[in-house]
Structure 1
Amino acid sequence: MKQIKVDGMFWFIINKIFGLKNRLYNVFIFHRKDIFIRYPAKLSGIKYMRIGKNFSTGRFLILEAIYNYNGIDYSPQLIIKDNVRINESIHIGCTNYIEIGNNVTIGSKSFISDHNHGIYTGEKQTSPLIRPALRELTCDAKVIIGDNTWIGENVAILPNVSIGKGCIIGAGSIVTKDIPDYSIAVGNPAKVIKKFNKKTQKWER
């Protein structure tokens, strides 16, 4: 897996003398001025990503479209639509399909993954005698986050989850099942506690 890591003396000098490190990084890597990924960041499989307009992140982003792991090939699609804002220390890992909708905001220290290390259901399961790092990655799940959704801090979104439009996922939640449109969900596992009533224009339990 090729990895682009932005660090070293060159970027240190650029930052200290010219204050242009982040801007140069985004122009050189993505050839675009409307993407702003703050230093430092680790990006893997850029050619398997589709990033929309006005994408910005905090520091310590890990963005992985995993196309090969332990000699096994994958065909990831990591889609980030327009006006997405991601805060610090976010890890997004994709072996199959992750889609983040328009105008989504994601709080710090959140994790989004469409895969597991190993298979733990069905007929063919992974032995615990195999080191986790050497277990085959699953590649048959999707994660979809709808437009105008706000993901709070320290949220984990696990494989085969769809979060609807206009949702709020409370801080510290672990999302293991689908969340319908215009819902507030919290907890471990995350459960819907309120839905938006379009007639009254209020969030109701």
Structure 2
Amino acid sequence: MNNYSIAQVLYLIYCKLRGFFVFKEARLVRFPIDLRGAKYIKVSKGFTTGVGCRLEAYPMNREQTMFFGENVQMNDYVHITAMKSVIIGSNVLLASKIYISDCSHGSYNGDEFDSNPNIIPNKRTLIAKPVVINDNVWLGEFVSVLPGVVIGKGTIVGANSVVSKSLPPYVIAVGSPAKPIKEFNFETQKWVKIQ
């Protein structure tokens, strides 16, 4: 607490007390926070948010659709939307201004289910595919995670990346679309470039 002013300490105490009534298991929920469908969101011990986060759960079947493992730390202005299932494992670190969603307005896969561009975007059929972010993942600033993605354990995704396809465990991925550029070698205990 040595790095905080008295006003900041009072703000953190306020957030801790108020956050208890939002998510009992949370370590700290910073306000303001935008919660939509809070009863469909499950957080575990040690959950922490930054300011301005937006968590939206619009379940298809009236069951919980957004799950956070233990010790998840979300920084400022993270936006997560769950319609089918978004599962975030334990010890996950989310930098600021991240977008994670399991749904999209329409389908654009080049098949018979494609959405017509003449239909107003918010009137197109919502398509949902589960998202899973496994334990010990770190997502950098401005990362976007799109529907149907699985991010493997221990993976790091670099800032400004768009994860449109699943990533294996223990890699560093960057770009749009995000692609692995390094992997962790457990024999040498070092990150090595992928050839």
In structure 2, the partner of 1:53 is 45
Q: SS of 1:185's equivalent?
A: strand
Identity within the alignment, %: 42
Q: SS of 1:58's equivalent?
A: coil
- Give the Å deviation of 1:54: 0.5
Indicate how the Cα distance of structure 1 residues 23 and 80 shifts in structure 2: closer, same or farther if over 3 A, else same: same
Aligned partners of 2:22 and 2:156: how far apart in 1? 32
8 Å CA contact retained: 1:115, 1:137: yes
- Give the Å deviation of 1:75: 5.1
- Aligned amino acid, residue 28 of structure 1: F
In structure 1, the partner of 2:87 is 99
Aligned partners of 2:50 and 2:160: how far apart in 1? 19
Runs of 5+ unmatched residues, structure 2? 1-6
2:177 matched to 1:195? no
Which of 66, 69, 74 is matched with 2:58 structurally?
66
Give the aligned length: 184
Aligned partners of 1:52 and 1:27: how far apart in 2? 12
Deviations 1:133-172 (A, max 9, x none): 2322112x11111111110000001111111111110001
2:127 matched to 1:138? yes
TM-score (norm 1): 0.83
Runs of 5+ unmatched residues, structure 1? 1-14
2:16 matched to 1:23? yes
Counterparts of 1:5-44 in structure 2, within 5 Å, are 19=11, 20-30=13-23, 32=24, 34-44=26-36
Aligned partners of 1:23 and 1:200: how far apart in 2? 42
In structure 2, the partner of 1:11 is none
Which of 92, 107, 118 is matched with 1:129 structurally?
118
Q: SS of 1:92's equivalent?
A: strand
- Give the Å deviation of 1:86: 0.4
8 Å CA contact retained: 2:88, 2:134: yes
- Give the Å deviation of 1:91: 0.4
8 Å CA contact retained: 1:23, 1:33: no
- Aligned amino acid, residue 79 of structure 2: H
